[in-house]
Amino acid sequence: MTERFLIEKHSCPAEVFMSDGRVIGALLFLADFAQTHGGSQTVKDLIDEPGNVLPAVDGDGEFILIHKTAVSGVSVTPSALDLEGYWHETPATLRLTGGHRIDGALLVDDGSGERLSDVINNAQDWLRLRQSDHLIWVRVSALVTSRSPEA
């Protein structure tokens, strides 16, 4: 007999910026606990999980699988965990694969540098950009151009 163990998850509305230029409105599913830290799972935790796809429900209510390597960025309403840590804001305009242009403020971890070039060169796989009341997780490898108003 095969038993299924399911983890209860809650839906998180998101806009997924695709490398082909599309923006997919979707519900992503996050667990109430994370494997790598205390508290709930974040969108970044979900993207960083092993596996190639993100299970989601699109705007038509259809279940879809989004290949993670095709994701340039993900916009969500931020949770407290997304904003945790010591950081400062740096205004920036980012152009991503697929032609997406995103204006906002990068949330730069203290010690990552002051110049935009330092911030990007010191980043791991993802950057956080605040755009009004949304947080956009931006894949560093999807950056085409970056500009700072002070430059």
41 and 90 share one domain: no
71 and 93 share one domain: no
User: Domain range holding 127?
Assistant: 81-147
* Structure tokens that stand for 85 in this block: 């840590």
* Residue range 98-116: mean pLDDT, rounded: 87
Question: Is 40 or 11 the better-scoring residue by pLDDT?
Answer: 11
Q: Total domain count for the chain? A: 2
User: pLDDT at position 45, please?
Assistant: 87
Q: Answer whether residue 4 is part of any domain.
A: no
Q: Answer whether residue 3 is part of any domain.
A: no
Among 38, 53, 76, the domain boundary falls at: 76
pLDDT per residue as tens digits for the range 23-58 = 999 999 988 877 777 777 888 888 988 999 999 999
CB-based burial label for 112 (10 Å; 0-12, 13-18, 19+): middle
Q: Answer whether residue 87 is part of any domain.
A: yes
User: pLDDT at position 142, please?
Assistant: 96
**Could you give phi then psi for residue 38, rounded to 5 degrees?**
-75, 150
70 and 85 share one domain: no
pLDDT per residue as tens digits for the range 59-88 = 999 999 999 999 999 999 876 556 666 688
Q: What is the CATH number of the domain that holds 96?
A: 2.30.30.100
The proportion of the chain whose per-residue pLDDT surpasses 70, expressed as a percent, equals: 90
Q: How confident is the model at residue 117 (pLDDT cuts 50, 70, 90)?
A: confident
User: pLDDT at position 81, please?
Assistant: 55
Among 76, 101, 122, the domain boundary falls at: 76
CA distances from 129 to 8, 9, 105, 126 (A): 29, 25, 5, 10
Among 34, 57, 76, the domain boundary falls at: 76
Q: Answer whether residue 69 is part of any domain.
A: yes
